[in-house]
Amino acid sequence: MDSSHTRRDATRRKLFEAAVTLIAEQGFSSTTVDEIAERAGVAKGTVYYNFASKNVLFEELLRHGIELLATSLQAAADEVADRGGTRIDALDAMIRAGLDFISRYPALTQLYVAELWRTNRAWQSTLMVVRERAVAVVEGVLREAVGSGELSEEIDVPLTASALFGMVLVAALDWQSYQPDRSIDEVHAALSRLLQGRVSGRPA
């Protein structure tokens, strides 16, 4: 039972990776199930065994990817809290975790950002849900920071959380597409200065 479950998880991961890469490369409509199966190294029937349709595969792909991101953001914040750091330190650690995630899964990030702006997709509601899942993690830390007095009560928490989330996404994509010679440390340092100077109100 356990080995069967492990094999199924491994197969689904291969399908996720194949699908996100292909869809990011050539778009959802142009990507066929045959291509996904070939890229994943599995039979076409295996795709339909795991996912009822290409649409379902795409929705699960988004959910899986954003859940990984949200988990990594929360883990970064928790690690800072465990060692007694501030909430601003936690937000900074989350920026780094976000950059690490995007550098590991660039195709998923490109796909998410591209689809976020489309309004005629059947999975638009899914996009909203997965976005809220990731942004909620940032919101939680911001609310704690306001509650502890680290941040002003005047801060618009939902909008600030969205801005921080978007800042990391856009900066990371720009870094990978147009400034690949920069190190992740350089990119993190630049975003950290924005966080320290603009959100916390203290100089970097």
pLDDT tens sequence across 107-128: 777 777 777 766 666 667 777 8
Note the pLDDT of residue 121.
63
Note the pLDDT of residue 197.
72
Note the pLDDT of residue 196.
81
Side-chain half-sphere exposure of 127, counting CA atoms within 13 A? 18
Note the pLDDT of residue 125.
74
Helix (H) or strand (E) holding 67: helix 54-82
Angle formed at CA 125 by CA 135 and CA 70, multiple of 5 degrees: 25
pLDDT digits (tens, 9 = 90+) for 84-109: 999 999 999 999 999 999 888 887 77
The SS3 call for residue 121 is coil
Note the pLDDT of residue 203.
47
Among the ranges given (35-49, 63-77, 124-138), the one the predictor scored with the smallest mean pLDDT: 124-138
pLDDT higher than threshold 80 for residue 51: yes
Backbone dihedral angles phi then psi of residue 81, each to the nearest 5 degrees: -60, -40
pLDDT higher than threshold 60 for residue 154: yes
Q: Please check whether residue 102 is in contact with residue 109, taking contact to mean a CB–CB distance below 8 angstroms.
A: yes
Q: Express as a percent the part of the chain with pLDDT over 90.
A: 44
Helix (H) or strand (E) holding 26: helix 2-26
Note the pLDDT of residue 199.
60
Among the ranges given (48-52, 126-130, 136-140), the one the predictor scored with the smallest mean pLDDT: 126-130
Among the ranges given (14-23, 86-95, 140-149), the one the predictor scored with the smallest mean pLDDT: 14-23
Q: Please check whether residue 121 is in contact with residue 112, taking contact to mean a CB–CB distance below 8 angstroms.
A: no
When comparing pLDDT for 10 and 113, which is higher? 10
Interval 146-172 mean pLDDT? 92
Residue carrying structure tokens 């909620």: 136
- CA–CA distance, 189 with 160 (Å, rounded to integer): 19
Token pair, residue 82, equals 């465990």
For the chain, what is the mean pLDDT? Answer: 86
Going by pLDDT thresholds of 50, 70 and 90, the confidence category of residue 198 is low
